[in-house]
Amino acid sequence: MSTKAPLESRRQLEAAATTRPAVGSQPSGRRTRTHTPAVAGAQTARFHRILPATLWTREWLLTLGRPRSAAIKVAMPLVLSVPLVSGGAPTFWAGMLLTVLVAMVGAVGSGVALARARSGGLLARLAVVPRAPSRLAGEWVLAATAVDTVQMLPVAAVVVASHPSASAALALLACIPAVLLFTNALGCALSLLADGPGEVLLDVMVVLAPLLFLGGLFTGVPREGWRWVAARLDPFAYLHAAFTGALGGVASFSAAEVLVAAAVTASISLAALAAVGRALLARA
């Protein structure tokens, strides 16, 4: 995965800025929209000189290229979490709602985006580039996970601020990206089964609901029996525990257990992504 700055080089940017269009190269044809407003002109011009080379950079550019949409993405979880936290909602139920939110953000986002990419021919074009499918899918899903994590960070900040505790904060901040990676990979896998974006939504609900139940989000985690075992294998149980603990409630798992679970969840998700990536592009 590439984490370098998206600018290829200063020299490139200068070259791009100084290249003049060919005379008469303006094509005819009606524009579908008016040109970029002059107010945002300079900023937009700078933005459009950043040259992406990877899906990672593309994902960030697409996110930042729609400031209003990005602001709404960040505001929406806050609108839910601030009243919960400031209103003193029971920690178990507040944790449940926030866990469901994280699960939906990751799985729906990736699933719908990939289903659209398939129907729009983007996956077919990716399938013929000379790079490993697992790497391409990994790059895409990791970028989506990073964007989702940024989206959920303000929520984490609000929760942590309500009952400051270093261990609970650490557990939460580790568990959120791990579970987002898991749900993004899940969305990626579910997009393989669906025929279109609408169907992905249904598939996500059908798969997430039992997973959330097994994680004890609706009824708590029993102390024995098969459901206790199931909950220990369910990433949502740990995220729920992380939220509950950070909100000052009694969590089903300790912060140390949550940290270990986050590491395991992230590792398994990455391994699964490699296999899903191959299947994803093979079905393009």
Partner 1 sequence: MTAVAPAAAGTPVLEARAVERRYRGGRGVGPVDLHVGPGDVVVLMGPNGAGKTTLLRLLATLGRPQRGALRWFDSADPAVARRSLGLSLDSTPDDETLSGLQSAHLWCRQWIREPSRALALCEEALRRFGLAAVRHEPIATYSYGMRRRLALVEALAHEPRLALLDEPTAGLDPTGVHALAAELRRRAESGCATVVASNDANFAAMAASRVAFLVDGRLLRCAAPAELLAAVGGARVAELSVVDATGLDVRALRGLLGVERVDVQADDGVVTLRYHDPASLPRIVAVADHPGGRLRSMRLHEPDLADAFRELTGSPIHLDAR
Site string for partner 1, 243-282 (x = CB under 8 A): ----------------------------------------
Which residues does 230 contact at the CB level (< 8 Å), separation at least 6?
Answer: 214
The residue from 3, 28, 226, 250 that contacts partner 1 (CB under 8 A) is 28
* Binding of residue 15 to partner 1 (CB under 8 A): yes
* Binding of residue 26 to partner 1 (CB under 8 A): yes
* Binding of residue 74 to partner 1 (CB under 8 A): no
Residue 158 tokens read as 């609000």
Minimum CB distance to partner 1, residue 9 (Å): 6
Minimum CB distance to partner 1, residue 63 (Å): 9
Sign of CA dihedral 266, 234, 59, 64: negative
Which residues does 158 contact at the CB level (< 8 Å), separation at least 6?
Answer: 78, 81, 82, 85
Angle at which helix 67-86 crosses helix 133-162, to 10 degrees, equals 40
Nearest Cα to Cα of residue 132 among 4, 280, 6, 266: 280
Nearer to partner 1, 270 or 284 (CB): 284
Minimum CB distance to partner 1, residue 62 (Å): 6
* Binding of residue 128 to partner 1 (CB under 8 A): yes
Q: 74, 154 in Cβ contact below 8 A?
A: yes
Q: In angstroms, rounded to a whole number, what is the distance separating the alpha carbons of residues 18 and 35?
A: 21
Nearer to partner 1, 50 or 160 (CB): 50
* Binding of residue 52 to partner 1 (CB under 8 A): yes
